Chains A and B, each alone.
Chain A
């Protein structure tokens, strides 16, 4: 019994010491999200409403967010990741369940967003709340393309994947979003194969097609800047980027479309990193982000859709335009979501993707 006393004292001391460090920054909440998703006035509104400072860190490649969460100890209280990354993060224990948070605002979710994942990733709804969603499509400088290729089909992936067209359009710029899973899914879909296939022949076929185009294209996560500078005339891009010229009226020649072969629906979700201790702040932020008023503001600023807005919902104003352009009525049946990839599958894709960009033949080293 003699040693119990000093040990207890040590324990209490350590609790006081580390406890105080952990709560040193008590009145702020750290949020890690896509670049240009939180407008400054919303950030200010959070502070006004809750008295808590909202610190926003951004990324422009989802792999960065995934890597931060996978590393753990990121210091973020809430983060945004693509829904297909959630399964991998869950598997390594990088996430905390949100269902225990006692959220005030019920979230209406369009069945399109999480429904396809529920089966593949059991329990995914416990860890995530849908944040934004949109599509991946083709942005075309119609004037520039038509002047070079008068007969080319403007609403088909053929315009993008046909190396003959690519060769012609190389001089006015072809850009590919740096998101390998989406690009491969679209390619497979264009080839008439299963967009979520992981089989070797399918991947070989897809990367063979991509390899033909690659010499004339650039892979980048800075597409918004390219578009703003009118540096490209053909761009495989997200709706959140591709809708900017139309919504903001920047360049009337740019048109975003979901090609007639169909395309990817992407969805971003909020997750809570495993090691955050300020779960009250995380809860407050989720409630704030999901509240009807702010959610619309954020979605419009990000040029994406609120998760409660299904394809047939009655959104108004900018949200109605975004919804209409992201998910055109006549293409909805051809649009699909991506399955979750395992870590190994993702690494295989990443490797092929890098070799492709470096000019190696598909899959070879």
Chain B
């Protein structure tokens, strides 16, 4: 539907046409309305001139009649003055009318009267003025004056109705013109309305329909896109969840394997299995995070952690890969700060670092990749700012690509994917996570010489007491623990971890079995998977708390297991009677920490220090 796209040109053209129609209609309307104006004005002007003549003639007649009948010289003198004045006014009016009459400004009927031969009022008026002149001219005899006055009076009386008729005709013509003007007004209004109607009917309404249709299409597209996006997020979440279950098995068994007697090389490989698995798990979590970010649901888990150790762990994660490529990967000794044990979002930082180091190693064929940790000057009363820099000597990034490498599914070069692999998601996640931490990410690069990515973010003082870096404690609890989980691998992982901690383990595959074994097996603690077939963990917990015969059993500590990190789920577990809640996949540290909550006295510390490689 390319032809229905709204373009600026389309809108301007249509609006222009509509405006044009209305404007043309208005101009025509104004011209129509103006048409009769001069006519009406001329009628009024003419009527006024004729009024002047009529007034003068009335005055003249009165004076003429006075003179006709007067014998005394004195009253005659007064009347003659009156004649002189009135004649003067009449002469002025006559001049105006004579001029107008020849200029055709009178209405046709009035014009006929003013120009006809018979009883022509203008010629008769001249005659009256001639006689008025006779009346006022000094030296004429009283007899002559009296006769002239008589004749002038008679003629005035005869001419007045004719002038009156002229006036009447002018007024009627004026009335007609006014009526016409009214019609012109209606016509003008009609033209304007018609113009507006045409503009609305043929321009504005189609345009409106057009815009509404286009908008509907945009809405439709957005809904489709949103639905697709939601489906994608759902898919990612589901897939990630499904992947995590077998991964738990790998990680758990690797950890079990790590606790057996191994030589140094084997130990190293097991650790790599474990850290790779964790990296994969982190990645899955990151994808979930990205989905959450996209859905606007990202919440960072804040905890105390050692930033430097995190760098070491990450470097360790990539050491094998680096060694294969003859890349020297190192974490530079941190500068300045007394401690790197801080409070922040360790998972986010780990994900950022994993991405940046992974990229650095990936794009460097020979040379070094360095991870540097440093403090940044921060404003007073503001959080401590730290900078994490990953610098490589790889292929670098072209200047024109620098702006878009942080976009989703963007890489510096289309050939990058085929050559180096990757999804193009990494830097997008880095950028979003950095922003989610109120930080920011920067890049500097010279093509073919290398790139330097820096993440600057705030951290706060650690809330717990500092734990010695790299110290792993050896524990032995010697208790009897019931593990209820329907997944055989998870069961096994938990069993092995617990056995390594000196515990005896009994297992149940569903809630009903768990309730039975809780009574018959007399466990010291129950690890209860929340989601199980037949009876779920929450229900089983309620059964144990409510129905166990032995009051000791009713009070046995029950720790929930769930893949769901939502605090809502934790609350549900506590409400059902659980004493703790562990997130799957269960790792050794979390398990130890949980067991220590219940049996703090049972620890037997055996410290092993593992420093940064």
Residues of chain A having any CB pair with chain B under 8 Å: 2-3, 6-7, 61, 63-64, 66-68, 70-74, 88-89, 91-92, 342-344, 346-347, 350-351, 354, 357-359, 365
Determine whether the beta carbon of B157 is less than 8 Å from that of A64: yes
List 14 A-B residue pairs with CB atoms under 8 Å apart, sorted by A's residue number: A3-B187, A3-B190, A66-B119, A67-B158, A68-B161, A91-B118, A92-B112, A343-B116, A343-B120, A351-B127, A354-B151, A358-B144, A358-B148, A358-B151
Contacts of B350 in A (CB 8 A): none
Q: In this assembly, does B433 line the interface, its C-beta being within 8 Å of a C-beta of chain A?
A: no
Q: In this assembly, does B104 line the interface, its C-beta being within 8 Å of a C-beta of chain A?
A: no
The complex places the Cα of A255 from the Cα of B598 at a distance, in Å, of 168
Pick from B113, B120, B147, B154: contact of A358, CB under 8 Å:
B147
Contacts of A74 in B (CB 8 A): 161
Contacts of A350 in B (CB 8 A): 127
**Contacts A354-B127, A358-B131 hold; do A67 and B148 have CB atoms under 8 A apart?**
no
> Beyond A67-B162, A343-B119, A354-B127: 4 further Cβ-contacts under 8 Å?
A67-B159, A67-B161, A88-B119, A347-B124
User: Which B residue sits closest to A68, measured CB to CB?
Assistant: B161
Q: In this assembly, does B186 line the interface, its C-beta being within 8 Å of a C-beta of chain A?
A: yes
The complex places the Cα of A365 from the Cα of B129 at a distance, in Å, of 13
Nearest-neighbour CB distance to chain B for A263, whole angstroms, equals: 25
Tally A-B pairs: CB < 8 A. Answer: 73
The complex places the Cα of A128 from the Cα of B151 at a distance, in Å, of 30
Determine whether the beta carbon of B162 is less than 8 Å from that of A347: no
The complex places the Cα of A220 from the Cα of B116 at a distance, in Å, of 28
Contacts of A70 in B (CB 8 A): 118-119, 162
Q: In this assembly, does B123 line the interface, its C-beta being within 8 Å of a C-beta of chain A?
A: yes
Q: In this assembly, does B409 line the interface, its C-beta being within 8 Å of a C-beta of chain A?
A: no
User: Which 9 A-B pairs give the minimum distances between C-beta atoms?
Assistant: A343-B118, A343-B117, A67-B158, A71-B161, A71-B165, A71-B162, A88-B118, A70-B119, A354-B151
Determine whether the beta carbon of A63 is less than 8 Å from that of B151: no
Q: In this assembly, does B611 line the interface, its C-beta being within 8 Å of a C-beta of chain A?
A: no
The complex places the Cα of A61 from the Cα of B154 at a distance, in Å, of 10
The complex places the Cα of A68 from the Cα of B161 at a distance, in Å, of 7
Q: In this assembly, does B272 line the interface, its C-beta being within 8 Å of a C-beta of chain A?
A: no
Nearest-neighbour CB distance to chain B for A299, whole angstroms, equals: 28
The complex places the Cα of A66 from the Cα of B164 at a distance, in Å, of 15
Contacts of A72 in B (CB 8 A): 165
The complex places the Cα of A74 from the Cα of B118 at a distance, in Å, of 17
Q: In this assembly, does B2 line the interface, its C-beta being within 8 Å of a C-beta of chain A?
A: no
Interface string of B111-145 (1 = CB under 8 A from A): 01100111110011001001100100000010110
Determine whether the beta carbon of B158 is less than 8 Å from that of A64: yes
Determine whether the beta carbon of B131 is less than 8 Å from that of A347: no
Contacts of A357 in B (CB 8 A): 147, 151
Q: In this assembly, does B82 line the interface, its C-beta being within 8 Å of a C-beta of chain A?
A: no
Determine whether the beta carbon of B186 is less than 8 Å from that of A358: no
User: Which A residue sits closest to B109, measured CB to CB?
Assistant: A72
The complex places the Cα of A346 from the Cα of B120 at a distance, in Å, of 11
Q: In this assembly, does B446 line the interface, its C-beta being within 8 Å of a C-beta of chain A?
A: no
Nearest-neighbour CB distance to chain B for A277, whole angstroms, equals: 16
The complex places the Cα of A81 from the Cα of B377 at a distance, in Å, of 124
Determine whether the beta carbon of A7 is less than 8 Å from that of B117: no
Interface residues on B, range: 20 to 34
The complex places the Cα of A66 from the Cα of B117 at a distance, in Å, of 13
User: Which A residue sits closest to B161, measured CB to CB?
Assistant: A71
Q: In this assembly, does B168 line the interface, its C-beta being within 8 Å of a C-beta of chain A?
A: yes
The complex places the Cα of A354 from the Cα of B147 at a distance, in Å, of 9
Q: List B residues 153-173 near A (Cβ within 8 Å).
A: 154-155, 157-159, 161-162, 164-165, 168
Contacts of A61 in B (CB 8 A): 154
Nearest-neighbour CB distance to chain A for B83, whole angstroms, equals: 15
Contacts of B473 in A (CB 8 A): none
Determine whether the beta carbon of A3 is less than 8 Å from that of B186: yes
The complex places the Cα of A73 from the Cα of B154 at a distance, in Å, of 20
The complex places the Cα of A328 from the Cα of B123 at a distance, in Å, of 41
Contacts of A343 in B (CB 8 A): 116-120
Q: In this assembly, does B96 line the interface, its C-beta being within 8 Å of a C-beta of chain A?
A: no
Interface centre among B120, B123, B141, B147 (most CB of A within 10 A): B147
User: Which A residue sits closest to B148, measured CB to CB?
Assistant: A358
Contacts of A88 in B (CB 8 A): 118-119
Q: List B residues 176-193 near A (Cβ within 8 Å).
A: 183, 186-187, 190
User: Which B residue sits closest to A345, measured CB to CB?
Assistant: B117
Determine whether the beta carbon of B117 is less than 8 Å from that of A354: no
Contacts of B157 in A (CB 8 A): 64
The complex places the Cα of A67 from the Cα of B119 at a distance, in Å, of 7
Contacts of B127 in A (CB 8 A): 350-351, 354
The complex places the Cα of A169 from the Cα of B123 at a distance, in Å, of 37
The complex places the Cα of A64 from the Cα of B159 at a distance, in Å, of 9
Pick from A2, A73, A359: contact of B143, CB under 8 Å:
A359
The complex places the Cα of A91 from the Cα of B164 at a distance, in Å, of 20
Contacts of A64 in B (CB 8 A): 157-158
The complex places the Cα of A343 from the Cα of B120 at a distance, in Å, of 8
Interface centre among A61, A347, A351, A354 (most CB of B within 10 A): A354
Interface centre among A64, A67, A347 (most CB of B within 10 A): A67
Contacts of A351 in B (CB 8 A): 127
Pick from A91, A347, A359: contact of B120, CB under 8 Å:
A347
Contacts of A358 in B (CB 8 A): 131, 134, 144, 147-148, 151
The complex places the Cα of A61 from the Cα of B155 at a distance, in Å, of 11
Determine whether the beta carbon of A71 is less than 8 Å from that of B186: no
The complex places the Cα of A290 from the Cα of B161 at a distance, in Å, of 30
Determine whether the beta carbon of A359 is less than 8 Å from that of B144: yes
The complex places the Cα of A72 from the Cα of B124 at a distance, in Å, of 17
The complex places the Cα of A74 from the Cα of B165 at a distance, in Å, of 9
Determine whether the beta carbon of A344 is less than 8 Å from that of B117: yes
User: Which B residue sits closest to A344, measured CB to CB?
Assistant: B117
**Contacts A67-B158, A68-B161, A358-B144 hold; do A346 and B118 have CB atoms under 8 A apart?**
yes
Contacts of B161 in A (CB 8 A): 67-68, 71, 74
The complex places the Cα of A344 from the Cα of B148 at a distance, in Å, of 21
The complex places the Cα of A74 from the Cα of B130 at a distance, in Å, of 27
The complex places the Cα of A365 from the Cα of B148 at a distance, in Å, of 13
Determine whether the beta carbon of B186 is less than 8 Å from that of A6: yes
The complex places the Cα of A74 from the Cα of B119 at a distance, in Å, of 15
Contacts of A63 in B (CB 8 A): 154, 158
Contacts of A347 in B (CB 8 A): 117, 120, 123-124
The complex places the Cα of A63 from the Cα of B124 at a distance, in Å, of 13
The complex places the Cα of A200 from the Cα of B187 at a distance, in Å, of 59
The complex places the Cα of A270 from the Cα of B38 at a distance, in Å, of 42
Pick from A67, A89, A346, A359: contact of B147, CB under 8 Å:
A359
Nearest-neighbour CB distance to chain B for A164, whole angstroms, equals: 22
Interface centre among A61, A71, A72, A73 (most CB of B within 10 A): A71
Q: List B residues 350-378 near A (Cβ within 8 Å).
A: none
The complex places the Cα of A316 from the Cα of B147 at a distance, in Å, of 43
